[in-house]
Amino acid sequence: MNKQNWTGFSKKTILQRIEHLEKLHFLTNSSSETLYQHRTLPLETADQMVENVLTTYNLPYALAPDFLVDGKTYQLPMVTEEPSVVAAASYAAKIIKRSGGFQTTIQNRQMIGQVALYQVPDLEQAKKDILANKEHLLQTANAAHPSIVKRGGGACDLRLDFVGNDPTFLVVYLIVDTKEAMGANIINTMMEALTLDLEQLSGGKSLMAILSNYATESLVTAQCTIDLRYLSRNKDEALELGQKMALASQLAQVDVYRASTHNKGIFNGIDALVLATGNDWRAIEAGGHAYACRNGQYQGLSSWHLDEQQHQIIGQLTLPMPIATKGGSIGLNPNVALSFDLLGQPDAKTLARLIVSLGLAQNFAALKALTSSGIQAGHMKLQAKSLALLAGASEKEVPLLVPQLLKSPHLNLETAQELLEKIRQ
Ligand code: HMG
């Protein structure tokens, strides 16, 4: 295999894959050791991370290679239990690379915290008084967490809104630059430091002070433009497929049942990389699904349309992506360190760009499969491989057995065993 040639990576053994990564210098000594020795989260560390620990829990850790994002190639680690997700991502990365890769934009990277005030006697007056003291409040927030200010971040803006019937609440939103951290602790500390001042300024009571996972100040967009000829060698078929993918994207805008599944497919990729980098995937999911409702109805997060000449299909995905490269449990798990090595030690903005690109890739593969052969065909191929292995086929026998299994009327273990016996005769 040539340098940076990933064709057939999936057909290698695990050992050969690791050797390939070593040859390409993607692994530090420590990461090589992690892979060769199957190093995972030490039980003693796990016991410090959460409560009432009994053991640790493993999931497959895979690699989707060769993602071209903003002109640079990346290998994306994916932690997932679902077959065909990594294959689909790898497949999409390959096609999208041929068409120029992903282009990403980051509008901002700031987090939001909120203090909800209630029983405020005069909402308008409270708003005026709080805004008049904005600078003082920002200083108070920063004084509560000086280390983030030293690192060049900190509280940078404060906004207010009336929400609820009557309205019931005056909500104060604090915008904070948390640098490489996700910032939950930083923000929660700052918000709690503000409550006394806010109660005094508003004359109301603080109900709660907490970070918001609706990270609308951390929006990231990934886009790709794919030549239709990569969808099918047949020109008419390629155009029809492109049109159907665009229609599928429209369907996800208007039918909430479809939107939910459409977005689940996007999160197949996103969660896998978020998990591999030790990040809080619930936070990313919550923000993403809230963003899917920003127009008042839950909608598909991505969109696909054909260009005017109908030569290309253009996909786009925008998501809140408040991802971290420092803090939380990052650094405690040797598999997370491995992920950062494989990714080339990205900063938080780069990691966010990669995650959203992977979400778009995953969506591309799913929509292409759904609007052509159907999702089951790809699943069946992978299912046949699992059955072949389960039947006891060796690495050399698997490629002989899988095509025969796919042709057989019953895709089950018994058939796999019978066919394997015939191959061995
Ligand atoms: P194919 O065209 O049969 O693939 O597609 P191929 O065998 O010709 O291989 C082409 C490339 O795909 C390979 O290149 C790999 O990059 C990759 P190569 O390395 O050979 O040069 N690839 C694989 N990579 C790793 N392991 C494999 C493997 N096979 C191919 N075993 C494929 C096959 C599965 C890719 C295609 O059918 C596909 O993309 N299907 C979609 C699968 C999918 O989306 N699965 C997610 C689970 S379903 C779901 O939860 C979401 C959903 O409901 C979302 C929605 O509704 O929107 C669908």
What is the structure's pLDDT at 378?
76
Nearest to 92 by CA among 357, 365, 355, 306: 365
Q: Out of 179, 280, 341, 368, pick the active-site residue.
A: 280
Query: If you ran DSSP here, which 8-state letter would residue 38 be given?
Result: T
What is the structure's pLDDT at 3?
57
Cα-to-centroid distance, 299 and ligand 1 (Å): 25
For the question of residue 311 being annotated catalytic, the response is no
- Please give the C-alpha separations between residue 271 and each of 245, 308, 416, in angstroms, as whole numbers: 23, 34, 33
Nearest to 357 by CA among 64, 83, 82, 62: 64
The stretch 170-175 carries a mean pLDDT of 98
Cα torsion angle, 245, 250, 253, 255, sign: negative
What is the structure's pLDDT at 411?
86
Rg (CA), the chain: 25
Percent of the chain at pLDDT above 90? 86
What is the structure's pLDDT at 130?
98
Q: CA 71 to CA 93: how far, in whole Å?
A: 13
- Please give the C-alpha separations between residue 340 and each of 10, 300, 348, 350, in angstroms, as whole numbers: 21, 30, 11, 12
Could you tell me the pTM of the whole model? 0.92
Measuring from atom 10 of ligand 1, which residue has the nearest CA? 91
Measuring from atom 4 of ligand 1, which residue has the nearest CA? 91
Asked whether residue 407 carries a pLDDT value surpassing 80, the answer given is yes
Q: CA 331 to CA 129: how far, in whole Å?
A: 43
- Please give the C-alpha separations between residue 37 and each of 15, 163, 362, 395, in angstroms, as whole numbers: 12, 54, 31, 22
For the question of residue 82 being annotated catalytic, the response is yes
Q: Name the CA dihedral angle for 71, 75, 81, 86, rounded to a multiple of 10 degrees.
A: 60
2, 90, 98, 367: residue to mutate for ligand 1 pocket, most atoms within 8 A of CB: 90
Tens of pLDDT, residues 14-55:
999 999 999 999 999 999 999 999 999 999 999 999 999 999
Tens of pLDDT, residues 383-393:
888 889 889 99
What is the structure's pLDDT at 328?
78
Asked whether residue 363 carries a pLDDT value surpassing 60, the answer given is yes
Cα-to-centroid distance, 294 and ligand 1 (Å): 31
Measuring from atom 35 of ligand 1, which residue has the nearest CA? 88
What is the structure's pLDDT at 383?
81
Q: Checking phi first, is residue 72 left (phi over 0); if not, alpha (psi -120 to 50) or beta? A: beta
Which residue ranges have their beta carbon within 6 Å of ligand 1? 7-10, 82, 84-88, 90-91, 94, 261-262, 264-265, 268, 365-366, 369-370, 375, 378, 381-382
Asked whether residue 416 carries a pLDDT value surpassing 60, the answer given is yes
Peptide bond into 167 cis (omega under 30): yes
Nearest to 304 by CA among 296, 294, 312: 312
The stretch 310-316 carries a mean pLDDT of 97
Query: If you ran DSSP here, which 8-state letter would residue 21 be given?
Result: H
Asked whether residue 375 carries a pLDDT value surpassing 80, the answer given is no
Measuring from atom 9 of ligand 1, which residue has the nearest CA? 91
What is the structure's pLDDT at 2?
43
Q: CA 160 to CA 172: how far, in whole Å?
A: 5
Asked whether residue 1 carries a pLDDT value surpassing 80, the answer given is no
201-215, 271-285, 295-309, 371-385: segment of lowest average pLDDT: 371-385
